[in-house]
Amino acid sequence: MQIGKVIGSVVATQKDEKLENTKLLVVQVHSHQNEPTSDYVVAVDSVQAGSGDMVLFATGSSARQTTLTEDRPCDAVIMAIVDSWDLSGENIYEKWR
């Protein structure tokens, strides 16, 4: 999985019918040191994430392993909202700070 920050959402009225009722968020990938990278993904949200949230997302066929995305054309899914992380005991990200 990778971690990224939700920086927006995608609205697409005309879309594959199997994508009806899914929330599509734009996620900017962050490194383990919490530096924003130039990578981003559009991912289906399965955990009620919102703009500004730091999230964990899975890609590839794993992304279809939720009740929301099963058998749908989806290759990235947000599966958790990150509260914090540390590297070798040092706090790198803290949601409530």
Partner 1 sequence: MYLARVIGRVVATQRYAGLKGVALQWIQPLDDAGTEQGAALVACATVSTGPGDLVHFVDGREGALACPNTFVPVDAAILGFVEEVDGPTRLSN
Q: Does 25 bind partner 1 (CB under 8 A)?
A: no
Q: Does 82 bind partner 1 (CB under 8 A)?
A: yes
Those residues with Cβ within 8 angstroms of residue 84's Cβ, 6 or more apart along the chain or in another chain: 91, 93, 94, 95
Cβ 88 to partner 1, closest distance in Å?
A: 6
Q: Does 18 bind partner 1 (CB under 8 A)?
A: no
Contact pick of 48, 52, 96, 97 for partner 1 (by CB under 8 A): 48
What is the rounded distance in angstroms from the CA atom of residue 92 to the CA atom of residue 73? 34
Q: Which residue has the tokens 């009806």?
A: 20
Residue 76's Cα: distance from chain center in Å?
A: 7
Interface positions with partner 1 (CB under 8 A): 1-3, 31-32, 46-48, 56, 58-66, 69, 77, 79-89, 92
